[in-house]
A and B are shown apart, each in its own frame.
Chain A
Amino acid sequence: MEEKQLLQGLQARQESAFKYLVNTYQTKVYNTVLAIVQNPEEAEDVAQEVFMEVYESIEKFRGDAKVSSWVYRIATTKALEAYRKRKTQKRWGGFLSSLFGENDEVIHHPVDFVHPGVVLENRERSTILFKAIGKLADNQKIAFTLHHVEGLSYHEITEVMQLSLSSVESLLFRAKSNLRTLLKDYYAKEVN
């Protein structure tokens, strides 16, 4: 289906258009969200919410950008929201539990995230990397994920993030630099 046709179909609330959109983008959305929330059940949940948002906000989309850019934008926004929410819940969950005298229990069980698409021999290292990615600032996290997990080009990332090419380049440079620092700390502790 052509982009214009798809947009018209979506605005007319045609099920065939919406179904086509979901089938075309479900893997892209799920994969992007998964890399950010780092939990498969949550990623599925958020991915559904992304398409619900697309459906509900189609009138707002002027068609001045590609449908894919718009969908990726909603996906990254919702993924970050979910990630932040879970982090806050963990923090408060721990606080409330300590109030009720359940200090002994480890409140959140940090399950090591394994992305199913990573090459087998890299799985262990990628788990360490994803932990570090989780600690990046939002925009760096998005840019890094879109490029290294989704394989988007710098140009495509500018369309999703609505930033200039130099801004995207800067984000990716800083992301890598910060990851290096985080990994340095990690491996230094590991040795000790």
Chain B
Amino acid sequence: MEKHYNNEEAIERTLQSLEGIQPAEPNPFFYTRLQARMEQKFVKKTGWQWRPIYVYAALGLVLLLNFATIYTLTHTPTKNTSTVDSFANEYGLNSVSSLDTN
């Protein structure tokens, strides 16, 4: 009987063992570590190629290519007429055709 009583007491005391419990605190600089982890996740998710510096570099390159193309197009004389003439000569299209009714 005594054993049983002691067990009952032990059970109750164990059930009460959380009385007066104080909250456990995380390690210091929790926010700093959280920030670092979130930044890491962003890079991982979107890939290193989406890091701002690479995005700006890529945009810069595209713009440069655009300007270069526009510049090249506007500063190169067109050779359209000579191309058309040589084509016409090759196929004998300059003279009037014998099939013309007039």
Contact = CB atoms under 8 A, between A and B. Distances in A.
B37 A48 contact: yes
B41 interface: yes
How many residues of B sit at the interface, in one of the four size bands?
20 to 34
Nearest to B21: A117
Contacts of A78: none
A80 interface: no
A27 B17 contact: no
B44 interface: no
A180 B41 contact: no
Interface stretch (A61-69, A102-110, A124-132, A156-164): A124-132
Contacts of B33: 48
Mostly, the A contact residues are helix
B90 to A, nearest CB: 66
Given A115-B24, A191-B3, A129 B30 contact: no
Contacts of B24: 27, 30-31, 34, 40, 43, 115-117
Interface stretch (B7-15, B60-68, B94-102): B7-15
A99 interface: no
Contacts of B10: 125, 183, 187
Interface of A: 19, 22-23, 26-28, 30-31, 34, 40, 43-44, 47-48, 51-52, 55, 115-119, 122, 125-126, 128-129, 148-150, 176, 179-180, 183-184, 187-188, 191
Interface of B: 3, 7, 10-11, 13-27, 30-31, 33-34, 37-38, 41
Given A117-B24, A118-B17, A129-B15, 8 more contacts: A30-B26, A44-B27, A48-B34, A125-B13, A126-B17, A148-B21, A150-B23, A183-B14
